[in-house]
Structures are given as structure tokens and as C-alpha cells.
Chain A
Amino acid sequence: MELTLTLNGKKMSRLIEPGILLLDFLRSEGCYSVKRGCETSNCGLCTVFLDDVPVLSCSLLAARAQGRRVTTLEGLRQEAEELAAFIAAQGAEQCGFCNPGFMMNAIALLREKAEPSVDEIRDYLAGNLCRCSGYEGQLRGILAFIEWRKSEKGGAAR
């Protein structure tokens, strides 16, 4: 079947197998930030945006992306780089495998709410599993990023 979608800002059409998962389709298109993890819809490694909403690409048929916008970490380069620098500064990345999914969901949160509380961050990121870090580094990184962004905005306003 033919699939037409907008991937990271570029409209494209591809012939796909009807049963292919979005995760596999995206990796076949070179989006290697999208990782295969648990296979049980639990780990969040495969998080992408479907029309700006974070979803698990391992649990979504590519066919369901027909006519829609799909965004992976590759399509969020600047936004992701800024946040990633703060995560890295906290030493939160160890093996780094969970990081793309973590970044995608953290960006989704910060788009929904610019200044979430610690509890709101923990709640929103509960679906992203990390087996190295214990989550504290990521939390500190996100909080530091929020503070930096506030000061940047304040500075720009002045």
C-alpha cells in the first residue's frame, strides 16, 4: 500500500507492507534515533511525535500515519541539542540508549507546559525507562534547562 506522510518536515510517499510498524518504517528511512526496546509498549525508547503528540512508534502501524506529520529526534535538531547539553552536563547519559526517547518526551512536556513542577516532570516521563541512571540526572538536567530558558527569555526581554 502507498503511505504519504510528512516526515521531519518533508512530504514523502512510499510503498509499504500493510503490517509494518511505524518504528520499522522510520528506521528504514534512516531515523536511527528511534530505538527498539521492550517490545511491550513500556519503555518509551521509540517515542516520536504524531502531529506533535508523543506516541510509541513500536505500537502504531505506519499505515495510521497516512496524511499526518511524524517527527523524530532528527527533525528537532536545535531544540534537542539545547536540552541535550543540559542532560549531558549532569552526567545523566550513561549508555545513552534511552536518551532519544527521553528527549522526545521531555520536549513534548516542555511544549505543553513551559515550567512544570518536579512532580509533573516525573509523571510525564514515567513512561521512559532508563536502566543506568536512576532518573535524577535527567531530572536535574531538565530543571537546569528550564532555569536557563527562563533567564534567556528574561535577558531577551531586557
Chain B
Amino acid sequence: MSIFNPFINFFRVLRQVVKGNKWYYAWVGLLSFFILLGLVAYFKQLQYGLIETAMRDQVSWGLYIANFTFLVGVAAAAVYLVVPAYIYNFKPIKEVVLFGELLAATAIVMCIMFIMVDLGRPERVWHILPVVGKMHFPASLLAWDVIVLNGYLAINLFIPFYALYKLAHGREYNMQIIKPLIIISIPWAISIHTVTAFLYNGLPSRPFWNAAVLAPRFIASALCSGPALMLIIFQIVRKIYKLDIDNKAIFKIAELIAYAMGVNLFLFAAEFFKEFYSNSIHLAPMKYLFFGLNGHYNLVPWMWASLLFNITAFVLFLLPKTREHFFSLNLACVLVIAGVYIEKGMGLVIPGFVPGTLGEIYEYTPTMVEKYITIGIWAAGALIYTVFLKFMIPIYKGELRFKSSQSKQVG
């Protein structure tokens, strides 16, 4: 009998994922629609090439890499839950840390998708792997990124799946196994964002990226956007699944975001001062971002909006009164996500290319194909996370149990 158990358990999970109320179907249907839209756009791009995008030799990375960069930040932020949960044993957060780890895993999967759609020859992606391909390690930072992102994905899939597997069999998970992984996951989370920052940072041809403050700023802004996204998800989950998530956990995370945003704003100010006060030729990209360059203003309103969002959110998160009020808290979360999405997305990638290395200014505005593919990947990410939660929460609440030959003896 027991050899059939994995199949029986698989169907239990499958049934749990497939069955739902009309809201669930509507949500999944909506996401599927956007995914389909993205797929259609992607097939067009596959067929005609990246000429379907607005990227050109002058601005050779665009919306895809911008989203990739932002999502690495979201993934790195899971560590913000892991530290208080496991190291300081802060109970309210410990109960929700699994959601954070799964969000990190989902974000990494989305990162990989954004890289895949950006490749000119996606079918050759195996060339980047060691052994079967010809990975340029340690010279290329992109090779480092492949290692740290996939490693982080493995860690953040293993921990929650292992814990849930044990829970589903009615057993406590073994801290001896999880603890070392958690310890590793903390520097690892920092590393994924550091390596991604270094990827830009190490190019002296692009003065905007070639600033030592880049990696610290990446980390600071990541510790804002990721947790902010999680706060919103926690509230939704709490409402839909009637799950106990302590307000204390939410307010604690909000407080931590305030500190991270403080650091982020300070580092931004440091960069801003250095560029504008020294007023060298390397000022051009910064000028393009905030004041426009030679009549090109594409990003100016976005950058000021981003700055305004970040400062407002900082104040809202910092004051206990607004932090512990759900309207202002959620407003601050949305502002932080939007602010960092602009700043660490297009606001980071595009000024690396404007002005170009030969002084040319090419104004990049994403095409519909790029937008559809981007929406499709976001929808795919949302769908993955939805499916995770759909079978994870019943297991977590003890409503879904696996058939197991040992569980009777132990439990």
C-alpha cells in the first residue's frame, strides 16, 4: 500500500489546488488570461527577434532587466523575516516566515523568466552552465548570478517544502536540518543582491553604475520593497484563509522597513550630492534622470514621483501612529513598492545607457510586446504563489493531511 502513498498524496494536493470557490476560479482565470497574452507576445518576439522591443544598440537592456533587478530585491527581502523569526525567535514573525520564503522562491522564478525573455538565443541558455556549457566563472558576474540565484531558489524551496511535508504527515520538522540552511540563507540573501549590484557596478564604461554606493543601496531598497509586498500579501491571506497572523508581526516588519528606507534615502542623498556638487561629466545620467538632458525628459516625472513616494512612505512607516493604522500602513506599502520599482527598475537600468558611450541619447519607451510579456510574467508569478498558498495553508492549518504509513506510530 505504502508505495501508492506518494500518488495518493499528490492527488490530494492536486484536488486541493483544482477545487475552489468562484472567486478563486475568477482570480486564476484572470491570471491565465494575462499569461496567455504574455505568451502570444513572447511567441511574436521569438519569431521576429528582440526588434519587437524598443531596445536597440544604444540602450541594450530595458524593461525586462529592470523587472529582474527589482525582483531580485523582493527575493532578498525574505531574510528580513528569517532573522527575527529564527535567530531572535520572535514568535509572531516565525509563524509567517514560510510565506516569506515561498515569496522569495516565486520572485527568483520570475527573475529567471525575465532573463529568459531577454535572451537573444534562449535555446542556448545551457551554454552558461558549468560542465555542459562553458560558464565564465569567476570572471563574469553573470556566472556568479546564475550560481547565487539558483542556490537561493533551492534553499527557499527546500525549507518550506520540507517543513510542510513534515506537517502534512503530522510530524514536527527537524530543526537540526533546517537550522544550518537558515543560517546560510541570511548571507545568501545579501549575496544575491550584492552580486546583482556588482553586475552593473563593475562596468567602468557606465559611470552611473560605477559607483561604490550601488550595492549598499540595492540592499537598502530591497529591504523596503520586499517586506512591503509581504505585508500586503499577509493581510490578504489573513482575510481569505482566516489565518491567524499577529498584528505585532505586521507592525514589526513595518518598523524595519522604515529603518531600511531611512538608509536608502541617506545613500541616495550621498550619491546625489557627490554627482551634483562635483559637477563632472559623469553627472549626465543623473541629470537625465532628474532634470532631463538636451531636451530628453522621459524619466524625469517618474524619478520625482519615486522620490516623493519613498519619502512619504518613510514618514508613514516611521511614526507609530500611521504605522499601526491599516489605511496609512497599506498606503505606505503601495508607495514603497511603486517607489522602489521605479528607482531600482527603469531608474537604474536606463541611465546606465543614457547618454551612451559615444554620447548619443536614445530615449527608450517599452513597446506593447515588452509590456505584455512583463504583465504575463507577473501574472505567472502571481499564479505560482496562489497555487503554493492554496495547498500550503490547509497543510499549515492542519486541514490537509497526507496518507502515511509511519504517521500512526509516531503521531
Q: Do A and B interact? A: no
Contact surface of B with A, Cβ cutoff 8 Å: none
